[in-house]
Copies of this chain bind each other. A is one copy, B any other.
């Protein structure tokens, strides 16, 4: 999933899809590459679960999958907050020992 987010063209496609569903050619329009290249990116996005597609007639409609997006979001969030809680506890500890020092009458 992060692999899929790693490429700027694919992030561009996701950005576009965050504004609403789009066909393959609509996704391709702003990108400076051939259609097959876009399709390959799209396949990766679909394999990662970030995008769902459905073919109606001859046009394939693509939409963002909010569930997969929030899954990636959560992974980062949990690592970040895990680390921040540690930082906070360290801060508390430092404040605690400083207070102790003051109570014991040490010079600050």
A66-B84 contact given A2-B11, A5-B5, A76-B76, CB 8 Å threshold: yes
B86 touches A66 (CB 8 A): no
Q: Which residues of B contact A80 (CB under 8 A)?
A: 18, 64, 66, 69-70, 73
Q: Which residues of B contact A107 (CB under 8 A)?
A: none
Number of copies: 2
Q: Cβ of A42 < 8 Å from any Cβ of B? A: no
* A29: min CB distance to chain B, Å: 19
* Chain A residues near B (Cβ < 8 Å): 2-3, 5-6, 11, 14-15, 17-20, 64, 66, 69-70, 72-73, 76-80, 82-84, 86-87
**In the complex, given contacts A18-B80, A66-B87, A73-B76, what are 11 additional A-B residue pairs having Cβ atoms less than 8 angstroms apart?**
A2-B2, A6-B6, A14-B79, A15-B79, A18-B79, A19-B86, A66-B84, A69-B79, A73-B73, A73-B80, A76-B76
